[in-house]
Amino acid sequence: MIVRRMGPMSLAKLSATLYGLIGLLIGGVISLVSMVGGAMAGNEAGPMGMLFGVAAVILLPIFYGCIGFVTSLIGAGLYNLVAGWVGGIELEVE
């Protein structure tokens, strides 16, 4: 089986979802670190640490998803162009 063409929108939607999930995971880690840092700092950084943690959980998945969508869309277009020249990727499936 030879992959000669990829659907750019199909790949971009899949990548956006995967990158969004990765962003959610990373946002959760950043949120946890900011909560621990805020607790260690005492009352001095309390509200800002919490705000930063919430923003990380909300904004990072959106940012990662958008970046994944755009880069995969461009990558699939470039793959289709180059695969037309050299013949694509050969896959062996059982």
Domains of the chain, residue spans? 23-82
**Which pLDDT tens digit goes with each residue over 47-90?**
666 677 778 888 899 999 999 999 999 999 999 999 989 988 88
User: Which of 56 and 19 is assigned the larger pLDDT?
Assistant: 19
pTM flag (> 0.95): no
Cα angle value 60/9/93 (rounded, 5°): 105
Q: Beta strands of 7-91 (E only): which ranges?
A: 89-90
The pLDDT assigned to 6 comes to 87
* Residues 49, 27: Cα–Cα separation, whole Å: 13
Question: 3-class DSSP state for residue 89?
Answer: strand
Which residues of the chain form beta strands (DSSP E)?
2-3, 89-90
